[in-house]
Amino acid sequence: MTTTDRRETGEHRGEEAKERRDRSWSLATPDASPLVLGLLFGVTAVLAGIVLAFGGPIAGAAVVLGGLSAILVLRNIELGFFAVIAVVALLPFATLPVDIGLTPTFLDFALGAVVVVWLLGIVTGRQRRIVTAPVALPLILFIFIAIFAFIFGLANGPLTATLLRKFAELLLSLGFVLIVIDYCRTWERLERLVKFLLLMGAAAAVVAIGLWLLPEDAANSALNALTRVGYPGGWVIRYIEENPELSERAIGTSVDPNSLGGLLLMMGALVGPQMVTKRPLFRRRVIWIIGGLVFLGLILTFSRGAMLGLAAGLGLVAVARYRRLLPYMAVVAVIILLLPFAQEYVARFVEGFQGDDLATQMRFGEYRDAMRLIARYPVFGVGFAGTPDIDLYLAVASVYFTIAGRMGLFGLLAFFGIVGTVFIYAFRNRKAARADEHKDAVWLGLHAALLGALVAGIFDHYLFNMDFHHAVTIFWMMLGMAVAATRLVTEPDTSLEVISD
């Protein structure tokens, strides 16, 4: 080998090493400085001692567990993403037993850990480039409009610690899209997140079905045990139209049946293509078990908006590629129409379309009031603190009316700009996705989940409701994953996974 050859080989290896470092997200790889971990251990020990002295053993134990969790995330940021998904699915309203003027939630902690590690990677130079996508610009515009509307609307209500925390959580969930896109630099990373999403969706369905099958008193006692981690107490079982004479609705640990329905509809749309593709993410039996659990859990929520959303999502999958999914959808529809125990469910849909039931009539009233609010404050809305007029209110069961009321038509147009960018980006790269059936099933499932959530958002507001931080987070996380999937199918997957990744 000549000197020139050796030099070129050395330069090539140097470029490969640099690329591996760029793809590595762990701040605590074997060659990293132990200073960060040592400082974190020390701070955790000191804080745990202080909290133990003044807050008791439970609070001290919480600090220790929080510190250890942070250390694990530093070792591998992917664990942070897994923690976010697990909390959203299983303990979305859990809070830490620490009061610092406000009480942080498990989800706050998990999201914050991921964001901090991501920022540290940039600050320390271990991550030397940020991967973006076309959705970044409209998303940043949407965030700026939200901040302006928030500040502008403070004249309509007091600025409380709770309001400030909830708005900060909303911004955190919106910005999380950019972190998700940047993290999913390889298909392997994206696929692992999708797999974990499906497993946690099935787990959420199992919890919901199990609690629904229990006697009501036993289920209520089980849910009241969660008051130790910040859940509401009292009688928390939910019924159709809040009438105990009607059927019980499955809520799992999501408190609200429509919120649970939104989670399960996205999981159902995500798993749909896996049930018919020749190369599913799991063994076919596992995929069918996940699909069955998610669908059954969704039915028991009696969330009509979520069911329509799932139908829209699976319809997209069927039209785009998997037309053999249509017979399965038809069989499920016939079963629902014919089985005796499903007749109440069918009746609920008929009443909804006819506008005869109380819930639908209340929605129509909310829509009329929301249109009055938007007509009075069309540009930037009324903000997030309250309304300036006593005859107006913010609560409305629709994502789109909620955004328009709080952020005005500018905010709603910016939201449509985000959604339009995502689907136009996907449509332009449809052929690239179809080239690999294994990737196409994941790609289609993510976009079907988004479409389903957007359809359900016509009838429910949890995807942009600051009281449902977990629902907001999972929607925007799925949006980031869908955009990342489109970017990945358009680029040759020549990247290498790193052991520390």
Per-residue 3-state assignment (H helix, E strand, C coil) for 299-319: HHHCCHHHHHHHHHHHHHHHH
pLDDT in tens, 164-174: 999 999 999 99
105 with 227, same domain: the answer is no
Instruction: Tell whether the model's pLDDT for residue 55 goes beyond 70.
Output: no
For residue 462, tell me if it sits in a domain.
Answer: yes
Tokens of 128: 């030397």
Query: From CA 45, how far away is CA 29, in angstroms rounded?
Result: 23
112 with 152, same domain: the answer is no
Cβ neighbours of residue 124 under 8 Å, at least 6 residues apart? 27
125 with 221, same domain: the answer is no
For residue 379, tell me if it sits in a domain.
Answer: yes
Domain boundary among 83, 107, 129: 129
Cβ neighbours of residue 50 under 8 Å, at least 6 residues apart? none
CB count, 10 Å around CB of 43?
13
70 with 112, same domain: the answer is yes
CB count, 10 Å around CB of 76?
18
**Among 13-27, 72-86, 367-381, 393-407, the least confident range:** 13-27
Whole-angstrom CA distances from 13 to 6, 23, 79 are: 10, 15, 30
124 with 170, same domain: the answer is no
300 with 373, same domain: the answer is yes
**82, 194 in Cβ contact below 8 A?**
no
178 with 302, same domain: the answer is yes
Instruction: Tell whether the model's pLDDT for residue 304 goes beyond 90.
Output: no
**Cβ neighbourhood burial of 142 (10 Å; 0-12, 13-18, 19+):** buried
Predicted local confidence at residue 4, as pLDDT:
47
Range of the domain at 123: 3-129
Instruction: Tell whether the model's pLDDT for residue 12 goes beyond 50.
Output: no
Instruction: Tell whether the model's pLDDT for residue 309 goes beyond 70.
Output: yes
177 with 325, same domain: the answer is yes
Instruction: Tell whether the model's pLDDT for residue 8 goes beyond 50.
Output: no
Domain boundary among 110, 129, 148: 129
Instruction: Tell whether the model's pLDDT for residue 46 goes beyond 70.
Output: no
For residue 494, tell me if it sits in a domain.
Answer: no
Tokens of 251: 């809520």
Predicted local confidence at residue 113, as pLDDT:
86
Predicted local confidence at residue 339, as pLDDT:
65
What is the band of 68 on the pLDDT scale with cuts at 50, 70, 90? low
Count up the domains in the chain and report the number.
2
Q: Which residue has the higher pLDDT, 247 or 413?
A: 413
179 with 92, same domain: the answer is no
Predicted local confidence at residue 136, as pLDDT:
94
**Among 217-221, 283-287, 332-336, 377-381, the least confident range:** 332-336
Predicted local confidence at residue 292, as pLDDT:
93
Closest alpha carbon to 65 in 55, 77, 75, 57: 57
The whole-number average pLDDT for the span 359-372 is: 80
The whole-number average pLDDT for the span 116-143 is: 87
Instruction: Tell whether the model's pLDDT for residue 448 goes beyond 70.
Output: yes
Instruction: Tell whether the model's pLDDT for residue 319 goes beyond 80.
Output: yes
What's the mean pLDDT when you consider all of the chain? Answer: 81
Instruction: Tell whether the model's pLDDT for residue 379 goes beyond 70.
Output: yes
Predicted local confidence at residue 328, as pLDDT:
75
Pairing of strands 238-239, 248-249: antiparallel
Length of the chain: 501
The whole-number average pLDDT for the span 177-195 is: 94
Instruction: Tell whether the model's pLDDT for residue 60 goes beyond 70.
Output: no
**Among 47-56, 257-266, 316-325, 351-360, the least confident range:** 47-56
Closest alpha carbon to 196 in 80, 275, 112: 80
The whole-number average pLDDT for the span 97-123 is: 81
48 with 125, same domain: the answer is yes
**Among 17-31, 302-316, 372-386, the least confident range:** 17-31
Predicted local confidence at residue 53, as pLDDT:
46
Q: Which residue has the higher pLDDT, 4 or 357?
A: 357
For residue 349, tell me if it sits in a domain.
Answer: yes
What is the band of 476 on the pLDDT scale with cuts at 50, 70, 90? very high
For residue 495, tell me if it sits in a domain.
Answer: no
Domain boundary among 129, 162, 191: 129
What is the band of 406 on the pLDDT scale with cuts at 50, 70, 90? very high
Predicted local confidence at residue 70, as pLDDT:
58
Q: Which residue has the higher pLDDT, 154 or 63?
A: 154
**Among 68-77, 213-222, 311-320, 443-452, the least confident range:** 68-77
Q: What is the DSSP letter of 227?
A: G
Q: What is the DSSP letter of 233?
A: -
Q: Which of 2-11, 39-48, 322-331 has the highest mean pLDDT?
A: 322-331
b/e burial code for range 212-221 (CB count within 10 A of at least 16 → b): beeeeeebbe
Q: 46: helix, coil or strand? A: helix
For residue 499, tell me if it sits in a domain.
Answer: no
For residue 237, tell me if it sits in a domain.
Answer: yes
Q: Which residue has the higher pLDDT, 33 or 434?
A: 434
Q: Which residue has the higher pLDDT, 318 or 420?
A: 420
Query: From CA 92, how far away is CA 107, in angstroms rounded?
Result: 7
256 with 358, same domain: the answer is yes
201 with 340, same domain: the answer is yes
The packing angle between helices 304-320 and 343-354, to 10°, is 90
For residue 497, tell me if it sits in a domain.
Answer: no
The whole-number average pLDDT for the span 214-243 is: 89
The whole-number average pLDDT for the span 200-205 is: 95
H or E stretch at 289: helix 284-301
**321, 431 in Cβ contact below 8 A?**
no
Instruction: Tell whether the model's pLDDT for residue 7 goes beyond 60.
Output: no
